[in-house]
A = this chain, B = another copy of it.
Amino acid sequence: MRSLYCGEVNESHVGQEVTLCGWVNRRRDLGAVIFLDLRDREGIVQVVYDPDFPDVLEKANTLRNEFCVQVKGKVRARPDGQVNKDMATGAIEVLGLELTILNKSAPLPLDSNQKNSEELRLKYRYLDLRRPEMTERMRFRAKVTSAVRSSLESQGFLDIETPILTAATPEGARDYLVPSRTHKGQFFALPQSPQLFKQLLMMSGMERYYQIVKCFRDEDLRADRQPEFTQIDIETSFMSSDQVMEVTETMIRGLFQELLNVDLGEFPRMAYSEAMTRFGSDKPDLRNPLEIVDVADILKDVEFKVFSGPANDENGRVAVICVPGGAAKFSRKGIDELTKFVGIYGAKGMPWLKVNDRDAGIEGLQSPILKFLTEEAVNALLERTNAKTGDIIFFGSDTYNVVTESLGALRLKIGEDLELLQGEWKPLWVVDFPMFEEADGHMHAIHHPFTAPTNLTAAELEANPVGALSDAYDMVLNGCELGGGSVRIHNQDMQAAVFRILGISDEEAQEKFGFLLEALQYGAPPHAGLAFGLDRLVMLMTGASSIRDVMAFPKTTTAACPLTNAPGHANPVQLKELGIACLEKETDTDEKAE
A228 and B164 within 8 A (CB): yes
A563 within 8 A of B: yes
B-contact 0/1 string along A439-464, CB 8 Å cutoff: 00000000000000000000000000
Q: Complex Cα distance A102/B555, Å? A: 46
29 contacts between A and B (CB under 8 A): A1-B238, A1-B526, A2-B238, A67-B523, A102-B526, A106-B522, A127-B522, A129-B205, A139-B158, A141-B160, A161-B552, A163-B553, A165-B228, A166-B564, A166-B566, A175-B574, A177-B178, A177-B578, A179-B179, A181-B218, A183-B567, A183-B592, A185-B583, A186-B589, A189-B566, A580-B581, A580-B582, A581-B581, A581-B583
B-contact 0/1 string along A256-271, CB 8 Å cutoff: 0000000000000000
A187 and B567 within 8 A (CB): yes
Contacts of A204 in B (CB 8 A): 125-130, 135
B-contact 0/1 string along A496-536, CB 8 Å cutoff: 00000000000000000001000111111110000000000
A583 and B579 within 8 A (CB): yes
Within 8 A of B (CB), among A135-185: 135, 138-139, 141-142, 145-146, 149, 153, 158-168, 174-185
B-contact 0/1 string along A45-67, CB 8 Å cutoff: 00000000000000000000011
A159 and B174 within 8 A (CB): no
A488 within 8 A of B: no
Closest 5 pairs (CB-CB, A-B): A105-B523, A129-B204, A167-B566, A185-B586, A186-B567
B-contact 0/1 string along A198-221, CB 8 Å cutoff: 001101111110000010101001
A205 and B130 within 8 A (CB): yes
A564 and B167 within 8 A (CB): yes
Output the least CB separation between A500 and chain B (Å).
Answer: 20
Given A67-B523, A135-B206; 11 other pairs, CB 8 A cutoff: A21-B525, A68-B523, A105-B523, A126-B201, A163-B553, A164-B228, A166-B566, A182-B560, A185-B586, A186-B568, A214-B214
A174 and B574 within 8 A (CB): yes
Pick the residue among B108, B582, B591 that contacts A579 (CB under 8 A): B582
A333 within 8 A of B: no
Q: Complex Cα distance A207/B1, Å? A: 12
Pick the residue among B102, B105, B205, B228 that contacts A163 (CB under 8 A): B228
Q: Complex Cα distance A237/B22, Å? A: 10
Q: Complex Cα distance A411/B421, Å? A: 75
Pick the residue among B129, B180, B230 that contacts A161 (CB under 8 A): B230
A558 within 8 A of B: yes
Output the least CB separation between A227 and chain B (Å).
Answer: 6
A196 within 8 A of B: yes
Contacts of A208 in B (CB 8 A): 41
A167 and B565 within 8 A (CB): yes
Chain B CB within 10 Å — which of A127, A237, A491, A564 has the most?
A: A564
Copies in the complex: 2
Q: Which B-chain residue is minimally distant from A139 (CB atoms)? A: B158
A40 within 8 A of B: yes
B125 and A584 within 8 A (CB): no
Contacts of A238 in B (CB 8 A): 1-2, 21, 70
Q: Complex Cα distance A181/B584, Å? A: 12
Q: Complex Cα distance A214/B574, Å? A: 22
Pick the residue among B218, B519, B561 that contacts A166 (CB under 8 A): B561
A159 and B146 within 8 A (CB): yes
Give A contacts to B, CB under 8 Å. Answer: 1-2, 21-24, 39-41, 66-68, 70, 102-106, 108, 125-130, 135, 138-139, 141-142, 145-146, 149, 153, 158-168, 174-190, 196-197, 200-201, 203-208, 214, 216, 218, 221, 227-228, 230, 237-240, 490-491, 515, 519-526, 551-553, 555, 558-561, 563-571, 574-576, 578-587, 589, 591-592
Q: Complex Cα distance A526/B23, Å? A: 12
B127 and A165 within 8 A (CB): no
Q: Complex Cα distance A163/B564, Å? A: 11
Pick the residue among B177, B180, B185 that contacts A559 (CB under 8 A): B180
Q: Complex Cα distance A163/B566, Å? A: 11
Q: Which B-chain residue is minimally distant from A219 (CB atoms)? A: B181
Contacts of A163 in B (CB 8 A): 228, 553, 555, 561, 566
A183 in contact with B127 given A159-B142, A553-B163 (CB within 8 Å): no
Output the least CB separation between A416 and chain B (Å).
Answer: 31
B524 and A68 within 8 A (CB): yes
Q: Complex Cα distance A190/B240, Å? A: 38
Output the least CB separation between A218 and chain B (Å).
Answer: 5
B552 and A162 within 8 A (CB): yes
Contacts of A166 in B (CB 8 A): 561, 564, 566
Q: Complex Cα distance A149/B147, Å? A: 12
Contacts of A569 in B (CB 8 A): 185-187
Contacts of A105 in B (CB 8 A): 521-523
